[in-house]
Amino acid sequence: MATQNGGMTLEEALAAPGEKVQISGKELRPDGRALLIYSVGDEGARQLARTRLPEAEHAAKVAELKAQGLRIAETDFKSGVIWVRTDGGIEVYDDKKKLLDAAGDRATLAGGKVVARADVALVFSYAEGREDRGIKATLGSGEQVDLVHAFDLSAEEDPTYNRNQLISDTTWCSAVGQAIARWAGVSFENRI
C-alpha cells in the first residue's frame, strides 16, 4: 500500500521499532479518510506513514491496528501536539519530546519535574501574547506550574494574526487540559 508525501507504507511503519500510535483524520473526502501512524517516545512524536482509505476500509484498519496494540492518538494537526488518552491519564508529545505523562498518582513533565496528582487544585489553558500557549496547573500551595507549553512563531510573524486564529490554533489546549483535569479529579478552565 503506497503512502502520500514520500513516507513509509503502513506495513513498513508497523515493522519499524519502537512504540507507535494511530491517528485518524476527521475529514472524509472523496478519496477517503486519512490514517496516520506515528512513533512516540521520549524523543517526541514522528509521523511514519500516512494514507487515505475509503470509510469502510478505514474503520476496519483502525480496529485491526488497535487489536495489534496501536493506541489511538489525537491531534489538531495545526499545533504539532499529539496526545494519547490512557486508562489512567494522558500522554502528550510534540515533535521533539514527550511533554507530559500523567498517570497514576503523578505527572512527569518535560525536563523531568514531577507533580503529584494530589497537589493539583485546578487545571487551565492559557495564551500569553500570540505565540505562547498551553496548559497550567494551580497547585494547592497557590503555585502555578506549566504542564504543557507550546510556542508558535508563525503567529508572531503574521501581522494579520487575530484572536479568532488564536482560538482556532489552541483548540488542542482545551482538549488536553480537560483530559489532564479528569486525571487529576479537578476543574478545568479555558482561559484563552
What letter does residue 131 receive in the DSSP assignment?
Answer: T
- With a cut of 60, say whether residue 17 has pLDDT above it: yes
User: How does residue 62 score in pLDDT terms, banded at 50, 70 and 90?
Assistant: very high
From CA 174, how far away is CA 192, in angstroms rounded?
A: 9
Q: Report, in angstroms and rounded to the nearest whole number, the Rg of the chain calculated over CA atoms.
A: 18
pLDDT at 78: 77
Average pLDDT, the chain: 91
- With a cut of 70, say whether residue 1 has pLDDT above it: no
Q: State the average pLDDT over residues 27-42.
A: 91
From CA 134, how far away is CA 127, in angstroms rounded?
A: 7
User: Lowest-confidence range among 111-120, 132-141, 150-159?
Assistant: 150-159
Q: What pTM was computed for the model?
A: 0.88
- With a cut of 70, say whether residue 182 has pLDDT above it: yes
Number of H helices, E strands in the chain: 5, 14
Pairing of strands 187-190, 120-128: parallel
